[in-house]
């Protein structure tokens, strides 16, 4: 039986540095001291596989079948990550979980490394005074992506999570006449990469370039050059064509097949809530 251990922080960061885009969530929660990790060692003390166990179970690497029991004990709302890693875990331990509410293989990750031309928007960081308008926009994005209304199930919890995103500087919006036309949040943020979630544009202006221009100016905020952060996001193939219609022209596919699996008893949790 493969030995599963609790890794040291330096092992986690070294493992994430091998693929900083695919492992951006794992590195983010580790750096913030929020991660609850189990691992399988490879050679010379390095890690062959790593898994975060919380509301989100996030496996990565080779040998993730070993994490089945630890993942089941976490009572996860979502299992997500590279399709091979999620597949290994699910094949070994799927019987320990309820039947998934939804299985989403084949969601590519697109990454933007170079700053595109400015979008000419009024994109800015969200402020506390934006909360009343931002919560409905975030709820609309959540409903469109996951098929459940977060304001019907846990309105106060969802409002709290939205406020925390603002307070942590992980939420941006573009408004016109007091109406939010575009918004995005960072679900993970490291020195190497920023992963976006809930990239959304107002239905009234879709097809007019608002999402593309908003993403262009959002990437500009993270700088450029050798020390700049890559901007990446999962693309849900049931919502968008590939390449995504709203993506800047320089966005390139970084990973072919992330996968998320959600048990039926709970709704999928935002990635910023490990």
The answer to whether residue 228 scores a pLDDT higher than 70 is no
Q: What is the pLDDT confidence band of residue 260, given thresholds at 50, 70 and 90?
A: low
Place of tokens 């996860």: 76
Bridge-based pairing of strands 102-104 and 258-262 is antiparallel
Place of tokens 């941006």: 172
| For the chain, the helix, strand and coil percentages under 3-state DSSP, each to the nearest 5 | 35, 25, 40
Cβ–Cβ < 8 Å for 38, 30: no
Least Cα distance to 52 among 187, 166, 252 occurs for 187
| C-alpha–C-alpha distance, residues 81 and 58, integer Å | 6
Question: What pLDDT, on a 0 to 100 scale, did the predictor assign at position 237?
Answer: 42
Residue 67 DSSP one-character state: G
Cβ–Cβ < 8 Å for 9, 17: no
Q: What is the CA radius of gyration of the chain?
A: 18
Q: What is the pLDDT confidence band of residue 252, given thresholds at 50, 70 and 90?
A: very low
Q: Which residue has the higher pLDDT, 238 or 167?
A: 167
Q: Which residue has the higher pLDDT, 193 or 180?
A: 180
Share of the chain above pLDDT 70, in %: 80
For residue 71, which phi and psi values (nearest 5 degrees)? -65, -40
pTM of the entire structure?
A: 0.80
Least Cα distance to 122 among 173, 165, 84, 170 occurs for 173
DSSP bridge pairs for 9: none
Mean pLDDT in the chain? 82
DSSP bridge pairs for 59: 51
Q: Which residue has the higher pLDDT, 101 or 194?
A: 194
What residue ranges define each of the domains in the chain, with the CATH number in brackets? 9-105 (no CATH), 112-256 (3.40.630.30)
The answer to whether residue 274 scores a pLDDT higher than 90 is no
| Token output for 104 | 């989403």
DSSP bridge pairs for 123: none
Question: What pLDDT, on a 0 to 100 scale, did the predictor assign at position 245?
Answer: 43
| C-alpha–C-alpha distance, residues 58 and 178, integer Å | 38
Question: What pLDDT, on a 0 to 100 scale, did the predictor assign at position 219?
Answer: 81
The answer to whether residue 225 scores a pLDDT higher than 90 is no
- Half-sphere exposure for 268 (CA within 13 Å, toward CB): 25
DSSP bridge pairs for 110: 233, 253
Least Cα distance to 201 among 146, 140, 117 occurs for 140
Question: What pLDDT, on a 0 to 100 scale, did the predictor assign at position 232?
Answer: 65
């Amino acid at each position: 039986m493969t030995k599963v251990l609790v890794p040291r922080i330096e092992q986690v960061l070294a493992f994430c540095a091998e693929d900083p885009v695919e492992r951006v969530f794992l590195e983010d929660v580790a750096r913030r001291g929020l991660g609850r990790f189990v691992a399988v060692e490879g050679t010379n003390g390095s890690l062959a596989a790593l898994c975060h166990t919380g509301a989100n179970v996030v496996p990565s690497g080779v040998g993730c079948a070993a994490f089945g029991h630890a993942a089941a004990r976490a009572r996860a709302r979502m299992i997500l990550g590279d399709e091979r890693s999620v597949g290994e875990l699910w094949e070994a331990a799927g019987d320990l979980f309820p039947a998934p509410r939804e299985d989403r293989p084949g969601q590519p990750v697109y990454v933007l490394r170079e700053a595109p031309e400015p979008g000419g928007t009024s994109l800015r960081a969200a402020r506390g005074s934006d909360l009343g308008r931002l919560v409905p926009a975030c709820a609309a994005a959540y409903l469109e992506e996951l098929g459940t209304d977060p304001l019907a199930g846990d309105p106060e919890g969802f409002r709290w999570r939205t406020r925390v995103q603002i307070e942590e500087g992980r939420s941006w919006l573009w408004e016109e006449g007091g109406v939010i036309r575009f918004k995005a949040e960072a679900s993970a943020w490291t020195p190497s990469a920023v992963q976006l979630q809930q990239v959304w544009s107002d239905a009234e202006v879709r097809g007019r370039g608002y999402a593309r221009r908003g993403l262009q100016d959002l990437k500009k905020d993270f700088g450029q050059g050798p020390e700049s952060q890559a901007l990446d996001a999962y693309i849900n193939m049931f919502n968008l064509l590939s390449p995504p219609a709203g993506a800047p022209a320089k966005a390139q596919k970084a990973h072919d097949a992330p996968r998320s699996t959600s048990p039926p008893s709970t709704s999928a949790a935002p990635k910023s809530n490990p």
